[in-house]
Amino acid sequence: MNILGILLMKLDAKLDDSSWGQYKNQVMHTTDAEKFDDILRMTFAASSGESKKLELYLNKLHKQGKFCYGLHITNRALMTCLVFERMGSQVHFVDAADGGYAMAAI
C-alpha cells in the first residue's frame, strides 16, 4: 500500500476526485503539531546537534528562572488522522513516539 501511495503521488495520478500529487501538501497543511492550553507543546524534527543546542538554550533560560520545560526525544513520530473526505476535510495530529507530550511533562 505504501509503495502504491508513493507511486500515485510521484506520478501526480488523478483518480475520481483525487489529485495524488497534491495529497502530501494537503496533509502538511492540515497537520496540528502544536498544542496551546496555557502551555506550548510542540513536536518537531531536528538533528542531534540541533537538539543539543536547543536543550542548552532551554537549560540556560530555566536557570535564569524564566520558565520550566520538559523535553522528550525519540527517533519516531506518530500521526493520528481524521479523514472525512480523502481530498477534502481532514485533520492530522502529530506526537513523538514512546510517550511524546506525556513523557515530556514528566
- pLDDT band for 33, please (50, 70, 90 cuts): low
pLDDT surpassing 80 at residue 37: no
Instruction: Indicate the domain borders of the chain.
Output: 30-105
Average pLDDT of span 100-105? 87
| Residues in CB range of 69: below 8 A, 6 or more apart | 58, 61, 62
- Whole-model pTM: value is 0.62
Average pLDDT of span 5-33? 83
pLDDT surpassing 80 at residue 22: yes
Amino acid at 4: L
Q: How far is CA 54 from the centre of its chain?
A: 18
